[in-house]
Amino acid sequence: MTAKLEVQALLYDVFGTVVDWRGSIIDDLSRFGAEKGLRADWAAFADEWRGLYQPGLEEVRSGRRPWTILDVLHRESLDKLIAKFGLTGLSEADKVHMNKVWHRLRPWPDAVAGLTRLKRRYIIGTLSNGNVGLLTRMAKFGGLPWDVVLSAETARAYKPLPQAYLANAAILNLEPGQVMLVAAHNSDLAAAASAGLRTGFVARPMEYGPNQKRDFKAERDWDVVADSFISLAEAMGC
């Protein structure tokens, strides 16, 4: 990968790529539900919550809705699911706590070690549709050693719109080709490549648990393909 010599920053997709959102939500809400005496299929709850993510973003991307951060979209989806799953007796504080489960997601086991190695040589940061406040608290929760927290919010555009990639490269004073997007999702990498970024694919075959249907492997010749952040660090000369 000769491109590694030009790359100065690795920016990461976060949900699914860096953190195990599904496993974390199931565990967190199962504990919370047990404390509160709530019964639910928390795996189905997590999957449906994530299922409402793209439709929520699309309202903003399409321009039908003004800029709205992901914490707010998550809360709207949560309120729908609380009704759908028939969960009763929840206070406003309970709902705020549940919504902040997205701030309490566990890194995949290789994530912190791999990022720590890459940080020695490159700027490492987020490039997520999560808002800055969410990503900052998640990093403290999981010990993610980001140099910089970039987001759809800092670009005012949700991925995969080109502006989400281009504005964040510009914020770092970098050309698109000096930035690598690292993601577990071929579609995110395709959009980044179209915007001129370099691309790194790390497979996360358990992101959707038993329901995973795609992204088991690289579907294009991305600049780097690795099976963990450790092997990504090795491929990037760290």
Binding stretches for its own copies (CB under 8 A): 71, 123, 125, 131-134, 136-137, 139-140, 147-149, 153-154, 171-174
Give me the least distance between CB of 3 and its own copies, in Å please. 20
Q: Is 87 in contact with 38 (CB distance < 8 Å)? A: yes
Collapsing DSSP to helix, strand or coil, 110 comes out as coil
Select 8 or 231, whichever has its Cβ closest to its own copies: 8
Q: How far apart are CA 165 and CA 148, in angstroms?
A: 15
Give me the least distance between CB of 236 and its own copies, in Å please. 16
Select 171 or 206, whichever has its Cβ closest to its own copies: 171
Select 12 or 222, whichever has its Cβ closest to its own copies: 12
Report CA 21 to chain centroid distance, whole Å.
8
Collapsing DSSP to helix, strand or coil, 148 comes out as strand
| Tokens at 132, concatenated | 């800055």
Give me the least distance between CB of 138 and its own copies, in Å please. 11
Dihedral angle sign, alpha carbons of residues 32, 37, 40, 45: negative
Select 113 or 218, whichever has its Cβ closest to its own copies: 113
Give me the least distance between CB of 77 and its own copies, in Å please. 17
202's enclosing H/E stretch is strand 198-202
